[in-house]
Homo-oligomer: A and B are copies of this chain.
């Protein structure tokens, strides 16, 4: 049994109990988004996080469990923040729509986490339970924010009465599409699209469409 000589500067490992899970989830997020669930090797996740493969299993029961953690961790807090913001908002509903959309893009759409949406779309068929969680806790609640703003504007007479379900989706679709696009087909083109400007146009058109009278 040979005991390897340890070099002074590279300890074989280091205790990181608290930091590990999020380091691992960060690494996993990047790879899952880039390659998809199946094509991501746990070896690579571990390597990117700078640990051995075995270490992954100290924190997550399985590859699927890791995916779940990434998805759950990524979103929920952010949505709750936005809900609180909306409830406390006192300006016009048009401003509220603009703010929600802006926060969504800044805090999610422009971050690596936007890839989660693409991921969930790709894997919904393979993880029905997770898909339902994502649908209920992320998509539905996220869309609820827009429904709230629209309803608020209609109630105040700021907007004309419209089908809420439809209008909600019309608010979200361009944002979601942009997030998805960035992580899929957008990878193979050199888009000139500036999301912020695009969303300005979106809001402009939308508000014209919602204007009462």
Given contacts A36-B36, A209-B209, contact A166 B197 (CB under 8 A): yes
Measured between beta carbons, the chain B residues less than 8 angstroms from A184 are: 120-122, 124-125, 131
Given contacts A174-B169, A177-B177, contact A188 B131 (CB under 8 A): yes
Could you tell me the distance between the alpha carbons of A201 and B166 in the complex, rounded to whole angstroms? Answer: 7
- Say whether chain A's binding surface is mostly helix, strand, loop, or mixed: helix
Could you tell me the distance between the alpha carbons of A189 and B143 in the complex, rounded to whole angstroms? Answer: 15
Looking at A13-21, A78-86, A97-105, A132-140, the stretch in contact with chain B turns out to be: A132-140
- Asked if A167 is at the interface of the complex by the 8 Å CB criterion, the answer is yes
Interchain nearest-CB distance for A61 vs B (Å): 8
Q: Do B210 and A121 touch (CB < 8 A)?
A: no
Q: In the complex this chain forms, how many copies of it are found?
A: 4
Q: Mark A160-199, 1 if CB is under 8 A from B, else 0.
A: 0011011101101110110010011101110011000110
Measured between beta carbons, the chain B residues less than 8 angstroms from A39 are: 38, 125-126
- Asked if A208 is at the interface of the complex by the 8 Å CB criterion, the answer is yes
Could you tell me the distance between the alpha carbons of A170 and B213 in the complex, rounded to whole angstroms? Answer: 23
Measured between beta carbons, the chain B residues less than 8 angstroms from A172 are: 177
Measured between beta carbons, the chain B residues less than 8 angstroms from A132 are: 188-189
Could you tell me the distance between the alpha carbons of A36 and B139 in the complex, rounded to whole angstroms? Answer: 21
Cross-chain contact of A205 among B162, B176, B177 (Cβ < 8 A):
B162
Most chain B Cβ neighbours within 10 Å, of A172, A184, A189: A184
- Asked if A204 is at the interface of the complex by the 8 Å CB criterion, the answer is yes
Could you tell me the distance between the alpha carbons of A172 and B174 in the complex, rounded to whole angstroms? Answer: 9
Can you list 9 A-B pairs with a CB-CB distance of less than 8 A?
A: A120-B185, A122-B184, A124-B184, A124-B188, A128-B188, A134-B185, A135-B189, A167-B201, A208-B211
- 19 further interface pairs, Cβ-Cβ under 8 Å (given A36-B126, A173-B174): A36-B37, A36-B123, A36-B125, A39-B126, A121-B184, A121-B185, A122-B184, A124-B187, A128-B187, A131-B184, A135-B188, A162-B205, A166-B197, A169-B177, A169-B193, A173-B173, A180-B180, A206-B209, A209-B209
